[in-house]
């Protein structure tokens, strides 16, 4: 493998979407002087207001903004597919589900690319909408929050989601029934008045843990118990969080207000020790210094995206982290070397970022890959490969329930109209 190619999409406060194709040489020794190369793919005004959310799965890109629009794009054909207009408020978050099956071609498996059978969209109106990707139909509405939703995340199983809101609650949702599973209130000493801005399930344990990020605090939860068991404090303001697994080691990655990105070990052994602490005084501790830190921005880190691919023949996994800031810089980091490999300066205030494989437009590799994706998409019309018999029964029962409810509503409306006519 002489080079790695992938694409970066960023959204800005200036309402634009910018897509770049980046080629990074895989250097064999220090004498290799080749540099990374950027090629602009598209750059246009996608919304009428600031873009706040992005995500990508298969060949599809979605963007959400303060104009209350969710725009859909086909990245292979480079065209807009349409707009989703069901929420009455700024779009704050867009998240595709991340099924375990991965797309691959003859040589490469794309570990960070999602298949995405569901899309969740969150808004400042306090609602979360559940969209079915195969036909972009709204499958359900998750109601319960009383203020703007700041973040949502889907469990690796695809059956559960969590959300955090300005109403100072964490909600867990059953995506199979589109109903609320439980509510956790954030009050008192736990938050010290801070609002929850971020939530993420961990990756290495398959979602056994999740974290909630406040301004300068990180709350640790065990998913099954849904109870906070430890609180870490930070000296700087948290701007974004995610989990990254490198060589079987999991890190909590935190973007900070000073432009740095910290990597903190997050493994089950150390977490078990924290869970055993019953003393309330030991519930809160300073997180301390990260195992390592990257410093590539002069101002706050607005977001980052992780790109991973695996060479099938050698089994080698390449991991890159792409970070952005309101300073307009896109910085690419090689996580094996823990070093900066490329910088692209834009003239805009960047707000969100996502990454996707270059194969999206490679005709020689996309044909077989797309056939697999389309086969999965067609199969979803009745069931998905991931669904168990229990899930299918739940979905069928939900559909029947909605049909019965619709029939009852039509009968009530008919009786009401007949009554009006008789009174006349």
392 and 348 in a common domain: no
For position 385, what pLDDT does the model report?
Answer: 46
CA distances 287 to 110, 235, 254, 259, 407, Å, are: 33, 9, 12, 18, 56
274 and 363: one domain?
Answer: yes
Q: Give the pLDDT score at 392.
A: 56
User: Are 108 and 155 found together in one domain?
Assistant: yes
Res. 118: pLDDT tops 80: yes
Say whether both 244 and 362 belong to one domain: yes
pTM of the model: 0.83
Q: What are the C-alpha distances in Å from 323 to residues 117, 183, 197, 318?
A: 27, 33, 19, 17
User: What's the mean pLDDT in 89-109?
Assistant: 88
Residues 336 and 415 in one domain: no
Q: Are residues 211 and 246 in the same domain?
A: yes
Residues 262 and 222 in one domain: yes
- The strand order across the sheet containing 284-286 reads 198-201, 209-213, 217-222, 227-233, 284-286
Q: What is the pLDDT of residue 3?
A: 87
What is the predicted pLDDT for the residue at 389? 59
The whole-angstrom separation of Cα 76 and Cα 385 is 24
* Domain co-membership, 281 together with 392: no
Per the structure, the complete domain to which residue 357 belongs is given by: 3-387
pLDDT of 264 over the 60 cut: yes
With a cut of 90, say whether residue 244 has pLDDT above it.
yes
Among 111-125, 270-284, 309-323, the least confident range: 270-284
Residue 381: its pLDDT value, please?
45
CA dihedral 348, 293, 305, 164 (to 10 degrees): -100
Better pLDDT: 23 or 270: 23
Question: Quick one: 281 and 334 in the same domain?
Answer: yes
Answer yes or no: do 402 and 277 share one domain.
no
pLDDT (tens digit, 9 = 90+) per residue, 120-175? Answer: 999 999 999 999 998 999 989 999 999 999 999 999 988 999 999 999 999 999 99
Q: How many domains does the chain have?
A: 2
Most confident of 118-127, 282-291, 383-392: 118-127
CATH number of domain containing 81: 2.130.10.10
- Say how far apart CA 244 and CA 148 lie, in whole Å: 28
**Same domain (yes/no): 338, 419:** no
The token duo for 317 is 């996994």
Evaluate if residue 400 carries a pLDDT over 90.
no
The verdict on 300 and 395 lying in the same domain is no
Per-residue model confidence (pLDDT) at position 422: 59
């Amino acid at each position: 493998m002489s080079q790695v190619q992938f694409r970066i999409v960023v959204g800005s406060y200036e309402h634009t979407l910018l897509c770049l194709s980046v080629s990074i040489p895989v250097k064999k020794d220090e004498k290799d002087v080749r540099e990374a190369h950027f090629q602009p793919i598209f750059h246009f005004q996608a919304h009428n207001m600031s873009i706040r959310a992005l995500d990508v799965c298969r060949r599809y890109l979605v963007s959400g903004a303060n104009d209350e629009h969710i725009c859909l794009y086909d990245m292979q054909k480079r065209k807009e597919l349409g707009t989703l207009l069901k929420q009455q408020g700024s779009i704050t978050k867009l998240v595709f589900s991340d099924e375990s099956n991965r797309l691959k071609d003859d040589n490469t498996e794309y570990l960070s690319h999602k298949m995405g059978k569901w899309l969740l969209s969150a808004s400042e109106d306090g609602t979360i909408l559940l969209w079915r990707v195969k036909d972009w139909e709204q499958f359900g509405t998750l109601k319960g929050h009383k203020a703007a939703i700041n973040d949502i995340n889907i469990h690796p199983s695809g059956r559960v989601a969590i959300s955090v809101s300005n109403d100072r609650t964490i909600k867990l949702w059953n995506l199979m029934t589109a109903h609320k599973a439980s509510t956790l209130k954030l009050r008192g000493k736990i938050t010290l008045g801070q609002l929850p801005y971020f939530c993420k399930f961990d990756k290495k344990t398959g979602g056994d843990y999740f974290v909630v990020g406040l301004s300068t605090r990180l709350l640790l939860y065990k998913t099954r118990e849904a109870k906070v068991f430890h609180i870490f404090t930070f000296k700087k303001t948290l701007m974004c969080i995610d989990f990254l697994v490198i060589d079987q080691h999991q890190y909590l990655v935190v973007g900070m207000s000073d432009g740095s990105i910290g990597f903190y070990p997050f493994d089950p052994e150390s977490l078990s020790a924290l869970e055993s602490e019953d003393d309330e005084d030991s519930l809160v501790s300073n997180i301390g210094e990260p195992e390592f830190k990257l410093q590539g921005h002069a101002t706050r880190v607005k977001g980052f995206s992780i790109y991973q691919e695996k060479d099938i023949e050698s089994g080698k996994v390449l991991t890159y982290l792409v970070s952005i800031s309101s300073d307009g810089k896109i910085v690419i980091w090689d996580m094996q070397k823990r070093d900066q490999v490329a910088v692209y300066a834009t003239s805009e205030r960047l707000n969100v970022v996502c990454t996707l494989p270059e194969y999206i437009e490679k005709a020689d590799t996309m044909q077989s890959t797309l056939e697999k994706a389309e086969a999965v998409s067609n199969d979803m019309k009745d069931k998905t490969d991931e669904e168990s018999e229990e899930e299918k029964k739940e979905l069928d029962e939900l559909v029947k329930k909605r049909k019965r409810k619709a029939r009852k509503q039509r009968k009530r409306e008919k009786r009401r109209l007949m009554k009006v006519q008789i009174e006349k």
